[in-house]
Structure 1
């Protein structure tokens, strides 16, 4: 199963590069990208999981309704994108359930940072997907963690997909920068080995980020964004469908694991 997911959040990434961006722009940019994603998923008639901050959800009630009424899964990405306290785990779950009317069972920490599994369990989540089991200078050093799903503290851990053997990450940055044929090769290798893929992206990738003065992003971040990103994602999904890969939400994936059905 392909677990296609999107971290929908206030677009605060320019702050990491020394740029200012208004809160209104943070919301409007992520809003535009989320609409582009939903349109693409509708076109292909596939379901995905949206990990959402409470801050973003409170500012886009119509999109939260669209996500839930069209059969996608809503999960927690925290209360705020750049501010975390352990109590936010439960608070974000409760608030997102209030806003969506949907049970929130999954969590992904902002920027895939470490999170206390005891606190995840205490907050009542069924699964956590906050691990990128690879090495990325200055960000991750997780070669000692399983590449594939495992249980910890009674919570199912579903790491982001990395290739077998060399653990090359299949996350958003590699999708932007690798030749698409090479990315598809790595995805096919990983899918054949693991029988599923867990790949994640962000709404702002589907907007034009090629404005260095405004956002301050280096070339590897802004490469293939906006319309190019929409076309690449359309190509990836079409290719996966041509290979009869099944798409589903994390909740559906967990249901199949529990029933020991093929994934």
Structure 2
């Protein structure tokens, strides 16, 4: 099973590097990138889960509608990606549900910062995907956390996939910078070990960042951005489909394992 996801947020990368950059400018980048992502998924007939900020949902309702119309799941990703707050769990859900008219089941904190699972449950989320159980000094130091899904405070935790032994992350930055053959091999290894694969990307990765030095984005983020990343995503999806793997949403994954837990207890 493939749990492919995208953190659909207003592009705020330049702000991290001291560039004066508006929400409107960030939305323009992310809308373009999101539509490119949707084109790839549509051409390959696969589904994904889109974790959306309240800012994105409010400023791009037509893109939110396209996400739903094409069979993808909508989940929450905070309100303001640049300045996340503890109260965002509830407000994010309120905004995204108002824009889409649907009930949202899942949450992912911006930048995968920690969350309080009891609050996630209280607000009404069924799952939380805010954990990257990797070893990345200065960013993610989560060697003591489970590597695969688990329950905590009544909420299903769905961590991003990492390799079994070294916990090498297989998220967006890895596909940008590793040789594709090596990345694909590590993904297949995780699938053999875990039976499923979880990864995530962002819309701004599919924008031609290389053409905008004024953004001051680091090379490892600009590398293979834009059209190159569209092709890399397309080849990854095609490889996984050729291997016979099924693409499912995070809610479908939660349903499968909730039912399995019931069956095991009967």
SS of corresponding position for 1:21? coil
Cα distance in 1 between the residues matched to 2:218 and 2:79: 28
Matched, 1:199 2:199: yes
Matches within 5 A, 1:1-263: 1-211=1-211, 213-260=213-260
- Cα-Cα RMSD: 1.2
1:152-184, Cα deviation, whole Å (9 max, x unpaired): 010000000001011110001111000000000
Q: Contact conserved, 2:10 with 2:30, CA < 8 A, in 1? A: yes
Q: Contact conserved, 1:207 with 1:226, CA < 8 A, in 2? A: yes
The more displaced of 82-91 and 31-40 is 82-91
SS of corresponding position for 2:209? coil
Q: Contact conserved, 1:68 with 1:102, CA < 8 A, in 2? A: no
Question: What is the TM-score normalised by the length of structure 1?
Answer: 0.97
Q: Contact conserved, 2:173 with 2:220, CA < 8 A, in 1? A: yes
Cα distance in 1 between the residues matched to 2:87 and 2:169: 30
Q: Contact conserved, 2:105 with 2:124, CA < 8 A, in 1? A: yes
Deviation at 1:213, TM superposition (A): 2.9
Deviation at 1:109, TM superposition (A): 0.4
The more displaced of 125-134 and 206-215 is 206-215
Cα distance in 2 between the residues matched to 1:68 and 1:209: 27
Cα distance in 2 between the residues matched to 1:126 and 1:20: 37
Cα distance in 2 between the residues matched to 1:69 and 1:254: 22
Cα distance in 2 between the residues matched to 1:79 and 1:16: 18
Deviation at 1:84, TM superposition (A): 2.3
* Stretches (4+) displaced over 6 A: none
Deviation at 1:25, TM superposition (A): 1.3
Cα distance in 1 between the residues matched to 2:89 and 2:22: 26
SS of corresponding position for 2:205? helix
Aligned counterpart, 2:264: none
The more displaced of 208-217 and 110-119 is 208-217
1:88-119, Cα deviation, whole Å (9 max, x unpaired): 21111122111111110100000011111121
Q: Contact conserved, 1:86 with 1:119, CA < 8 A, in 2? A: no
Give aligned pairs, total. Answer: 261
Cα distance in 2 between the residues matched to 1:73 and 1:212: 31
Deviation at 1:258, TM superposition (A): 2.1
Segments of structure 2 that go 5 or more residues without pairing to the other structure are: 262-266
Deviation at 1:212, TM superposition (A): 5.5
Cα distance in 2 between the residues matched to 1:119 and 1:214: 39
Segments of structure 1 that go 5 or more residues without pairing to the other structure are: none
Q: Contact conserved, 1:76 with 1:92, CA < 8 A, in 2? A: yes
